[in-house]
């Protein structure tokens, strides 16, 4: 492995190892979570203490959560802001909904009950995740031959399932597939689609384990941002190319203006 990658991996692994070591020390001092309050790391360390998983195993699990959980949500929220900045009417309607539900007071905290009632926020986030799927593709190596209609996919082949391509399928989303339109997720239009037409969190038994948490996290962040700032941009919407690098990256960053709301 090239030295550069080795150094990067060492940094990443060092970060998660530090978190695990710290938690082990706290547990040794009697600080443990239990019952309903048990956190994920403590669960893993219970299995570690019982000799059912080794250090490497714990680190791999923590790595997965740490990195699946960070980059994905930040990609989704960032692209969401890019979309909102280019669609002032959407932004205004969203701001109105936020004010109606939570108020303009910056100190007012956002709770799950608010989010459940915010149907327009839900539509906006779904549409942003459709157009800019944070995880653009997922790969599987076939364990058996797989026949799909006239096509035989042989055992051992690597199959790519690309939520980004499915979410931009003109047969489903229409010719204006690249336009940002939260109305695609109105109750009526959503009910007419197949569940697999929209799979930013993948589907099936190995779909995203953190999707509910991710949706709440992304919504809370977006609410705070839109309540605090008015976003705009002087670059064309289409100019920011998306690159599939494990996570969907904006090649131009997210160059938007953020005007503080009073």
138 binds ligand HEM (CB under 6 A): yes
68 binds ligand HEM (CB under 6 A): yes
74 binds ligand HEM (CB under 6 A): no
Minimum distance of ligand HEM from residue 60's CB (angstroms):
11
Pick from 8, 38, 39, 64: which binds ligand HEM (CB under 6 A)?
64
> Cβ distance 223 to 102 under 8 Å?
yes
Tell whether residue 208 is among the known ligand binding residues.
yes
Nearer to ligand HEM, 190 or 217 (CB): 217
User: CA-to-CA distance for 20 and 55, rounded, in angstroms?
Assistant: 9
Minimum distance of ligand HEM from residue 250's CB (angstroms):
15
Helix axis angle, 40-49 relative to 55-85, nearest 10°?
Answer: 170
253: left (phi over 0), alpha (psi -120 to 50) or beta: left
Minimum distance of ligand HEM from residue 11's CB (angstroms):
21
Total chain residues near ligand HEM (CB under 6 A):
21
15: left (phi over 0), alpha (psi -120 to 50) or beta: alpha
User: CA-to-CA distance for 25 and 45, rounded, in angstroms?
Assistant: 11
Q: Alpha carbon of 127 to those of 14, 83, 132, 140, 161: distances in Å?
A: 37, 9, 8, 26, 20
43 binds ligand HEM (CB under 6 A): no
80 binds ligand HEM (CB under 6 A): no
User: CA-to-CA distance for 108 and 224, rounded, in angstroms?
Assistant: 10
Q: Does residue 244 sit in helix, strand or coil?
A: strand
Instruction: Convert residues 20-39 into a mask of x (bound to ligand HEM by CB under 6 A) and - (unbound).
Output: --------------------
Pick from 16, 20, 41, 73: which binds ligand HEM (CB under 6 A)?
73
What radius of gyration do the chain's Cα atoms show?
A: 21
Which residue number is nearest to ligand HEM in terms of Cβ? 210
Site for ligand HEM in 155-214 (CB under 6 A): 163, 200-202, 206, 208-210, 213-214
> Cβ distance 41 to 57 under 8 Å?
no
Q: Which residues are annotated as a binding site for heme?
A: 208
Q: Which residues bind ligand HEM (CB under 6 A)?
A: 64-65, 68-69, 72-73, 76, 134-135, 138, 163, 200-202, 206, 208-210, 213-214, 218
């Amino acid at each position: 492995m090239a030295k550069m990658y080795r150094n990067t991996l060492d940094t990443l692994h060092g970060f998660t190892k530090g978190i695990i070591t710290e938690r082990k020390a706290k547990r040794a001092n009697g600080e443990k979570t239990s019952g309903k309050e048990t956190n994920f790391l403590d669960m893993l360390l219970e299995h570690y203490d019982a000799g059912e998983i080794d250090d490497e195993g714990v680190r791999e699990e923590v790595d997965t959560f740490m990195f699946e959980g960070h980059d994905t949500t930040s990609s989704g929220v960032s692209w969401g802001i890019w979309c909102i900045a280019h669609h002032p009417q959407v932004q205004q309607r969203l701001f109105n909904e936020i004010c109606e539900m939570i108020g303009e007071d910056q100190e007012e905290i956002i709770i799950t009950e608010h989010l459940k009632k915010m149907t327009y926020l839900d539509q906006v986030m779904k549409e942003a995740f459709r157009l800019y799927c944070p995880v653009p593709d997922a790969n599987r190596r076939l364990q058996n031959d797989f026949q799909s209609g006239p096509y035989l996919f042989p055992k051992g082949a690597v199959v790519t399932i690309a939520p980004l391509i499915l979410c931009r399928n003109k047969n489903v989303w229409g010719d204006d597939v690249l336009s940002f339109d939260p109305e695609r997720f109105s109750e009526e239009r959503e009910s007419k689609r197949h569940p697999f037409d929209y799979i930013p969190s993948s589907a099936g038994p190995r779909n995203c384990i953190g999707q509910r948490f991710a949706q709440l996290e992304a919504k809370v962040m977006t609410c705070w941002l839109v309540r605090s700032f008015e976003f705009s941009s002087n670059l064309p919407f289409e100019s920011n190319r998306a690159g599939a690098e494990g996570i969907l990256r904006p090649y131009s960053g997210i160059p938007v203006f953020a005007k503080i709301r009073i």
